[in-house]
Amino acid sequence: MTKDEALTEVYKSEEIRQVMLKIQPEHLRDDLKQHVFLLLLEKPDGFVESLIGEGKLRNYIVKVICQLVNFKEDKFHRVARRGTEILTDFSIVYEEAEEDFTQSQIQRRFTEIEQNDEAERQARELEQSCALELGKVYWYNQALLKLYIDLGSYRAVSEQTGIPTKSVFNAIQIAKNQIKTNVLCQN
């Protein structure tokens, strides 16, 4: 069975549908499912085929779904948090509240929203500046850091490159520290 056939079968399966029904909030279910399977389609064929061969594909998919639901600072949640609508009907806010809002409570809520927007903007700027600084890192350390980001562990990078794990760790730490230092110096 090929990677695409296996993923299509699992995508349409009743098990995944049941898992997705447990996801809250409901409006993110379809987006989350699409995101998980997009991640799998981007993985190398050998990785997915090894999961199929070991009979662990469904378990892996459920694990990824659970991680995405519980870890709120990944790319999926950053994109899902972006609101495209501007709330103009404030009666919804008042109907949901059991007590009347005072002017100071409303002002505090708007301040919180502004602070969250500012924090998101700063996070995007930091991400962009880190990406720029990555280009300035020594090519060897840069390549290992990129592999680490893709594979997720020092051991996986070591296995793929044949470089000892300790050396991989040291090179990645040097790259991370260099990026951190350069980004902090800019601010």
Chain-centroid distance, C-alpha 151:
14
User: Could you give the 3-state DSSP secondary structure of residue 104?
Assistant: helix
Q: Which of 80-89, 125-134, 139-148 has the lowest mean pLDDT?
A: 80-89
Greater confidence (130 vs 97) lies with: 130
The answer to whether the CB of 48 falls within 8 A of the CB of 8 is no
Mean pLDDT along residues 149-157: 89
Nearest CA among 53, 48, 36, 54 for reference residue 4? 48
| Structure confidence by residue, pLDDT tens digits, 33-78 | 888 888 888 888 888 888 888 888 888 888 888 777 776 665 655 5
| Structure confidence by residue, pLDDT tens digits, 81-115 | 554 444 444 444 444 444 555 666 667 777 777 77
pLDDT at res. 4: 82
pLDDT at res. 87: 46
Contacts of 155 (CB under 8 A, 6+ apart): 165
Residue 160 has pLDDT above 80, yes or no: yes
18, burial (CB in 10 Å: exposed 0-12, middle 13-18, buried 19+): exposed
- Report the CATH number of the 91-186 domain: 1.10.10
Q: Return the C-alpha torsion angle 137, 141, 142, 144, nearest 10.
A: -170
Greater confidence (185 vs 101) lies with: 185
- The domain segmentation of the chain, as residue ranges, is 3-81, 91-186
Chain-centroid distance, C-alpha 67:
9
Nearest CA among 16, 32, 111, 110 for reference residue 67? 32
pLDDT at res. 20: 83
pLDDT at res. 86: 46
The answer to whether the CB of 140 falls within 8 A of the CB of 171 is yes
